[in-house]
Structures are given as structure tokens and as C-alpha cells.
Amino acid sequence: MSSPRVLVEVRRGAIVEARHRGSIIALEPSGRVVASLGDHDAITSTRSAIKPIQAIPVITSGAADRFNFSEREIALTCASHNGEPIHTEGVEALLARVGLSEKAARCGAHRPYCEETARKLERAGVPFSQLHNNCSGKHAGMLATAVHLGLELEDYVSADHPIQIAITSLLRRLGDIQGDLAVAVDGCSAPTFGISPRSLALMLARLVNCALKSPASSNPLNESEQTAARRIISAMIAHPELVGGTSGRVDTDLIRAAAGKLISKIGAESLYAIGVLPCERFPNGLGIAIKIEDGAKRGLNPTVIETLLQLGAIGAAEREQLTSYHRERLISVRGREVGEVVPVFDLGIAK
């Protein structure tokens, strides 16, 4: 078993004052490893990194077509959004079309991630609702599926509900997960699963592999699921602002900068999943999973951008757009640059 590797250093002048360790794995749909560092077989919680996969049953069940999900609404089902009006209004409209309100959700309410939105609501005396929960789009998708299939709504987030059983089965197939699969409760009350970064990377590799007209023989998704995967990929690429937010979100800015080359999804405690679409360098697509051991987001963003650069999945043009994520500057109270957060790993990929 490999140990977590130092991926990022926090440097103040010539002094290294902190280090973030973690793991990186990139692999093909067949499971062939392209690059890896650290302990990528250690179990961690999936959190929101699997939302694009959790959205597949919304489409394969027929719910998305019955309730006329737009591409924007499919993107929202994959989102960990900022709680801005473009997010809350979209989720509210979707629930209304299903015949429900936000009261049917079981995700709970929290302060919007978007500070400007949160302050406006506070000044107006408007309480935060479940629509502001970053997971409300995922829950709207689950509720739409339950209504379409005539399933009980009250406990749709329970691990033994048919919707969650279908998601669990899908995760097992996509990630080649055998034996026990640990299940816990996510912050939004839906199930979260204990899997390895290796399995997560495999899921993303197989998801984006569906962008091909003839997916690889190692892809376990059936034709209906492949079609759903294509719709999800297209929606996330077309509407990255709905996946994260209008500013300050690495998911959004990475998908936008890559301009159709990849999809990406962050999970809490610094887990990150990326699917690089089939291209000349990676003909069947590539799945990447990154986990920062201590859960610190400060160590995540530089690792994500540096990993993609070393793999050749993005280049200098994208790096220029993503500089603030790649090398975060440390600024003193007086506004002087005094250090930076720097990726320090080498994947050992031949140039």
C-alpha cells in the first residue's frame, strides 16, 4: 500500500510552512492506469463527486423526458451550486413542473455559497430555503424520478429506497466494486458511499467514454445509460455556471476553460473527479480522481490544475485562465504578495 504523497506546499518566502498530502490516479475505461501517486485504494466518501452518475437514473427512468427537463435542468441535477438566483429559480421551476415545492425536498436549508446572494437575502429579511442548498438540483431530480415511478416521496433519501438502490447498483457496475460497499449519510441527507479514488476514476472514465458512438467493450453501461451519460456530459459542458456558480468556482471555471474537453465535479473534503473526453491523446477517454488527505481545499485546486497540465489534458491557454487556482498567492494585510501555494508533485509522464 502506498502512502499519501506531498502534493502541495504552502511557501511564505523561502519557508515551507505547510504541506498537503494526497493521492492522484488517472486511468482508462479498461482500468489501465495512466498515472498515479499516493494511496489511491484508500476508502473515502464520495460526497458530491458522484452527482453526474447519480443523475443517470433521472434520465433512464423516463422522468427527465416526462417532465421535459431542459439541458440546463440536467446540469442542475449534477450541481453543487452557489445558491444564486439562476440556480434557485431553476430548481423551483423544475419542482413546480413535477407538481412539488421545495418543501418536498429532504436536503435541508443552508446559507448560499454566493456571499452576495446571501447578504441580499439577509438584508431583505428573506430566510434561506432548501432551494439554496447546493444539492437542491440533485434532490429535485430524485423527486422527479420518484413521482414518475409512483414511489414514496417521504423517504426518497433512505438507502433502501428504490431510487438509492438503483444508484448503488450503478456505482458498483461503473466502479467494478465487489463485496461490501459502506454507506453513510451525506450533508444533504442523501446516501454517500465509501469507495476508493481508483473506483471513482474508473466511473468517470466510463462515463465520458459514452461520448463515443461505440463505447469501449469494458464499458458496463447499457444503451439507455450511455444515452443518458451523453446528455449529462453535454449539459455540464454547455452550462458550467449551473454546475457551480457564476464566479469563484473551480468546477465552473475549469469546464469553461477546457471548452468541451472535460467535465469535472468537486466533492466535500477535497475529493475531485474529472472525466477527460475521448481525444487524440486519450482515444477512449480518461478518468481522474484526486483526494487531499486532510480535506483542505487549499491543497486541492493547485493539484487539479497541475494534474491536468502534466497529463496534457489542458495546455498553456487553459493554464492562463486558471492561474488563480493553479498557484494561489499569499497576500499580507497590507496587500503585498508574500508567498504562494504551489503544486510540487511529478506524475512521471513522458513529455
Q: What angle do CA 237, 240, 245 make, to 5 degrees?
A: 175
Domain locations in the chain as residue ranges: 5-343
158: left (phi over 0), alpha (psi -120 to 50) or beta: beta
**R_g of the chain computed on alpha carbons:** 20
pLDDT value at position 2? 77
Other Cβ atoms less than 10 A from the Cβ of 110: the count is 17
- What pLDDT is recorded for position 3? 86
Q: Which residue has the cell 504551489?
A: 342
Among candidates 287, 279, 289, which has minimal Cα distance to 31?
287
Kindly state the DSSP code that residue 299 receives in the 8-state scheme. H
What's the pLDDT at 277? 99
Give the Cβ contact number of residue 220 at 10 Å.
Answer: 15
Rounded to whole angstroms, what are the CA distances from 262 to 207, 227, 235?
11, 17, 12
Question: What's the pLDDT at 351?
Answer: 61
Question: Residue 58 has which C-alpha cell?
Answer: 433521472
Written as nine digits, the cell of 5 is 504523497
> Would you state the cell numbers that stand for residue 79, as one nine-digit string?
450541481
Does domain 5-343 correspond to CATH entry 3.40.710?
yes
How far is the C-alpha of 225 from the C-alpha of 236, rounded, in Å? 16
What's the rounded Cα separation, in Å, for the pair 315 and 50? 26
Question: What helix, strand, coil percent values describe the chain, rounded to 5?
Answer: 40, 20, 40
DSSP string, 66-80: HTT--HHHHHHHT--
Grid cell, residue 183, equals: 454507506
Q: Do residues 86 and 246 touch, judged by C-beta distance below 8 A?
A: yes
Where does residue 325 rank: exposed (0-12), middle (13-18), buried (19+ CB within 10 A)?
Answer: buried
pLDDT tens sequence for the chain (351 residues): 578 899 999 999 999 999 999 999 999 999 999 999 999 999 999 999 999 999 999 999 999 999 999 999 999 999 999 999 999 999 999 999 999 999 999 999 999 999 999 999 999 999 999 999 999 999 999 999 999 999 999 999 999 999 999 999 999 999 999 999 999 999 999 999 999 999 999 999 999 999 999 999 999 999 999 999 999 999 999 999 999 999 999 999 999 999 999 999 999 999 999 999 999 999 999 999 999 999 999 999 999 999 999 999 999 999 999 999 999 999 999 999 999 999 999 999 866
Angle in degrees, 0-180, between the axes of helices 197-209 and 162-175, rounded to the nearest 10: 90
What single letter denotes the amino acid at residue 21? R
